Chain A
């Protein structure tokens, strides 16, 4: 079965199992507490009902009013500051629900607003996140040079570590700030920041809802907005670094397949070529042999170590040719090959890993070194 289909099926199964496991664990963690809390609340409710002789209907009336007043108790929600807060929760898809449009016109506008705003915001955060990643890479490279490390290239692992720590610190900074302003514990504030920045946005904890902060405390309001937007950028940068490549995998495979097909088709049209379909290049075969996301990641990292790689790219794919020893030997016999060319560090200082591959790194102007081209052109079929 095609690789893309296998991948998709595996992902579906993974997600469904993940849901089942999650459901089981949440059930185990929360069910008991839910039951006991409900019991306590019912008991207190009945006490009060008896004290004031309230019937069930009476109580339900009061209940309805109290629940409807809940957002109002938290302050004016739809003046400009509140609306801006709401607009943020819409286009970033956080969606607390602390305030939701009551009028039908508001609901309709909300839908249209989201339709345009969500893709805009997605693209904006990814764009900014990519810029941040590039900048960080640049700084890291400079820092490595300054410290005169032997290998000043910035690897993917470096970037991932930095990204991870910036996410954690963003969450911690937010947790400290909100626990101070909102009177939550640090853990609850951290939980709030996490739920917000992953855009889940339950709404069980919502900032700017105490003491009419939206109207009374403009500095805190500004801080909250800036925090949410910057935090989302940091998370977005991390996602851009780590997850985005996986979202385009199927599309790339599909394109590669189409290209191969086109190539075969055109070749067949050209000449009296006999039957057999192009043997998959060793690079492609090697790829197929190693399955799974891990292998793709390994592939990406592998490519980076190849000579003449540009230090700050992290996911180009170069033509990697497994070393064909017999071939090399034959060439060496003819004296065509200067073997050290395969192992010499390239101009940027990278060092080839001769055991895994012999990528074409440099070809001197001298035509005697055309021989690497033979490697190269022989295996071109997969591109």
Chain B
């Protein structure tokens, strides 16, 4: 079965298993507590109802009032600061739910707002995250040079380590700040930061909901917003570094398969020239054989083209075409050509016969013969 299908199927199976395992563990951890808490609270409820002699109907009314008034307890939610907070929770998909649009118009606008805002935010965080990674790579390289290390290249492990520690650092800083301002324990604060920055956003802990902070403490409000956005960038950078390549794996495989199919399907009398810029760039990240195989294929192509250009140029140097290329360009391409030819790996020479061998060679182009041999072996073109 195709690699992409195997990959997809195994991912589905993995995810389902993961869900089942998670469900079982949560059940084990929380069920007992839930039962006990429920009994306690119901007993308390009965006691209070009895104490104040509240009738059933009235108690239900009271319940409804209290539940509906819940968001209001935390302060004014929809003035500008609160709306900004809400907008952040929408486009970053955190979605606490501490405040949710009450009007139908608000709900409708919320949906349109999300449709445009979520992709924009996704792309923005990935873009900024990539810039951050590049900068960190650069800084790390400089530091390595300064420290006088022998190997100054920044490896993937270095980047992952740095990324991981910056994520941890971000979470800890947030935990410290919010535990101070919101009066939560450090662990609860850390849990809040984690749930926020992974955009899960339960809403069991929400910042800026105590003591009318949204209206009264602009500095704290600004800090919270900055923290959420910067924290999401750091997490986004880490995801960009580690996870993004996996998101495009199927597409790349599909492209490569199509490539191979197309080149095999090329008919005898034509050669399809095709450079996969993306694949050339991306193939760097693939497994060894494919990397080299593909790169050498493309490099072959380049070498053939440059080679033929160079030689035909040699041949036609006396004609008007020859004069179009100035001498240093000539040299440049010459050196490009020789560079490229060096890169042809032995595997390409072992490849099966070219489906469209060059049948005729113009009399003057003697030097083509060796290139012809090379071309005959380039199965994929």
B187 shortest CB reach to chain A, Å:
7
B37 shortest CB reach to chain A, Å:
7
- Given the interface contacts A12-B128, A107-B187, does A119 sit within 8 Å of B242 by beta carbon? yes
The contact of A247 among B52, B123, B268, by CB within 8 Å, is: B123
Closest B residue, CB atoms, query A247? B126
Tell me if B195 counts as interface (CB < 8 A to partner A). yes
Instruction: Check if B90 sits within 8 Å of A377, measured CB to CB.
Output: no
A351 shortest CB reach to chain B, Å:
16
Instruction: Check if A30 sits within 8 Å of B103, measured CB to CB.
Output: yes
The contact of B30 among A67, A103, A383, by CB within 8 Å, is: A103
- Given the interface contacts A15-B120, A23-B83, does A62 sit within 8 Å of B62 by beta carbon? yes
- Given the interface contacts A316-B276, A316-B278, does A127 sit within 8 Å of B11 by beta carbon? yes
Closest A residue, CB atoms, query B273? A360
Segment of A143-151, A154-162, A267-275 engaged in the interface with chain B: A267-275
Closest B residue, CB atoms, query A72? B38
B residues in contact with A107, CB < 8 Å = 187-188, 191
A residues in contact with B118, CB < 8 Å = 198
A303 shortest CB reach to chain B, Å:
10
Instruction: Check if A102 sits within 8 Å of B23, measured CB to CB.
Output: no
Closest B residue, CB atoms, query A52? B52
Expressed in whole angstroms, the Cα–Cα distance for A8 and B251 within the complex equals 25
Tell me if B143 counts as interface (CB < 8 A to partner A). no
Instruction: Check if A100 sits within 8 Å of B202, measured CB to CB.
Output: yes
Expressed in whole angstroms, the Cα–Cα distance for A188 and B54 within the complex equals 33
Tell me if B291 counts as interface (CB < 8 A to partner A). no
The contact of B34 among A4, A78, A273, by CB within 8 Å, is: A78
A residues in contact with B244, CB < 8 Å = 247-248, 251
Expressed in whole angstroms, the Cα–Cα distance for A308 and B101 within the complex equals 52
The contact of A313 among B86, B128, B255, B309, by CB within 8 Å, is: B255
Tell me if B155 counts as interface (CB < 8 A to partner A). no
The contact of B273 among A120, A363, A371, by CB within 8 Å, is: A363
Expressed in whole angstroms, the Cα–Cα distance for A119 and B198 within the complex equals 10
B residues in contact with A77, CB < 8 Å = 30, 34
Instruction: Check if B11 sits within 8 Å of A124, measured CB to CB.
Output: yes
Instruction: Check if B194 sits within 8 Å of A114, measured CB to CB.
Output: yes
B residues in contact with A365, CB < 8 Å = 268-271, 356-360
Closest A residue, CB atoms, query B319? A334
Tell me if B146 counts as interface (CB < 8 A to partner A). no
B15 shortest CB reach to chain A, Å:
5
Of listed B14, B127, B262, residue having the most chain A CB within 10 A: B127
- Given the interface contacts A247-B123, A247-B244, does A317 sit within 8 Å of B15 by beta carbon? no
Tell me if B131 counts as interface (CB < 8 A to partner A). yes
Tell me if A142 counts as interface (CB < 8 A to partner B). no
Closest A residue, CB atoms, query B262? A310
Instruction: Check if A377 sits within 8 Å of B87, measured CB to CB.
Output: no
Tell me if B12 counts as interface (CB < 8 A to partner A). yes
A residues in contact with B24, CB < 8 Å = 80, 83
B residues in contact with A334, CB < 8 Å = 316, 319-321
Tell me if A222 counts as interface (CB < 8 A to partner B). no
For window 132-152 of B, CB contacts with A under 8 Å fall at 134
Expressed in whole angstroms, the Cα–Cα distance for A85 and B101 within the complex equals 24
Would you call the interface of chain B mostly helix, strand, loop, or mixed?
Answer: helix
Cβ contacts B310-330/A at 8 Å (1 or 0 each): 101100100111001100100
For window 55-106 of B, CB contacts with A under 8 Å fall at 58, 61-63, 65-70, 72, 76-80, 82-84, 86-91, 93-97, 100-106
B residues in contact with A315, CB < 8 Å = 278
Expressed in whole angstroms, the Cα–Cα distance for A201 and B137 within the complex equals 36
Tell me if B48 counts as interface (CB < 8 A to partner A). yes
For window 114-131 of A, CB contacts with B under 8 Å fall at 114-124, 126-128, 130-131
Instruction: Check if B202 sits within 8 Å of A70, measured CB to CB.
Output: no
Expressed in whole angstroms, the Cα–Cα distance for A122 and B251 within the complex equals 15
Tell me the count of chain B residues lying within 8 A, CB to CB, of chain A: 169
Segment of B109-117, B215-223, B344-352 engaged in the interface with chain A: B109-117
- Given the interface contacts A41-B68, A243-B123, does A201 sit within 8 Å of B97 by beta carbon? yes
For window 314-367 of A, CB contacts with B under 8 Å fall at 315-319, 327, 330-331, 333-334, 346-347, 360-367
For window 29-51 of A, CB contacts with B under 8 Å fall at 29-31, 33-34, 37-38, 41-42, 44-45, 48, 51
Instruction: Check if A347 sits within 8 Å of B267, measured CB to CB.
Output: yes
Expressed in whole angstroms, the Cα–Cα distance for A11 and B88 within the complex equals 15
Instruction: Check if B34 sits within 8 Å of A18, measured CB to CB.
Output: no
B375 shortest CB reach to chain A, Å:
10
For window 251-269 of A, CB contacts with B under 8 Å fall at 251-252, 254-256, 259, 263, 266-267
B residues in contact with A317, CB < 8 Å = 275-278
- Given the interface contacts A7-B127, A65-B48, does A330 sit within 8 Å of B111 by beta carbon? no
A297 shortest CB reach to chain B, Å:
13
The contact of B22 among A83, A360, A368, by CB within 8 Å, is: A83
Expressed in whole angstroms, the Cα–Cα distance for A367 and B113 within the complex equals 59
Instruction: Check if A367 sits within 8 Å of B14, measured CB to CB.
Output: no
Tell me if B204 counts as interface (CB < 8 A to partner A). yes
Instruction: Check if B267 sits within 8 Å of A84, measured CB to CB.
Output: no
Closest B residue, CB atoms, query A102? B33
Expressed in whole angstroms, the Cα–Cα distance for A363 and B87 within the complex equals 56
Instruction: Check if A362 sits within 8 Å of B95, measured CB to CB.
Output: no
A67 shortest CB reach to chain B, Å:
6
Tell me if A203 counts as interface (CB < 8 A to partner B). yes
Instruction: Check if B96 sits within 8 Å of A70, measured CB to CB.
Output: no
Expressed in whole angstroms, the Cα–Cα distance for A54 and B188 within the complex equals 33
Instruction: Check if A54 sits within 8 Å of B52, measured CB to CB.
Output: yes
Expressed in whole angstroms, the Cα–Cα distance for A319 and B54 within the complex equals 80
A residues in contact with B66, CB < 8 Å = 62-63, 66-67
Instruction: Check if A126 sits within 8 Å of B247, measured CB to CB.
Output: yes
Tell me if B249 counts as interface (CB < 8 A to partner A). yes
B73 shortest CB reach to chain A, Å:
8
A230 shortest CB reach to chain B, Å:
12
Tell me if A285 counts as interface (CB < 8 A to partner B). no
Expressed in whole angstroms, the Cα–Cα distance for A48 and B59 within the complex equals 9
Closest B residue, CB atoms, query A255? B281
- Given the interface contacts A18-B117, A23-B83, does A266 sit within 8 Å of B127 by beta carbon? no
Q: Could you show 23 A-B contacts with beta carbons less than 8 Å apart? A: A22-B113, A23-B84, A25-B109, A30-B101, A30-B103, A87-B19, A93-B199, A97-B201, A97-B202, A100-B203, A122-B247, A126-B246, A126-B250, A130-B8, A131-B250, A246-B126, A270-B338, A273-B331, A315-B278, A330-B324, A360-B273, A365-B359, A377-B309
Other 11 A-B pairs with CB < 8 A, given A114-B200, A317-B276 = A23-B80, A48-B61, A80-B23, A90-B22, A93-B199, A96-B202, A97-B201, A118-B198, A248-B244, A270-B335, A317-B278
Across chains A and B, which 4 residue pairs bring their CB atoms closest together, nearest first? A200-B95, A95-B200, A97-B202, A202-B97
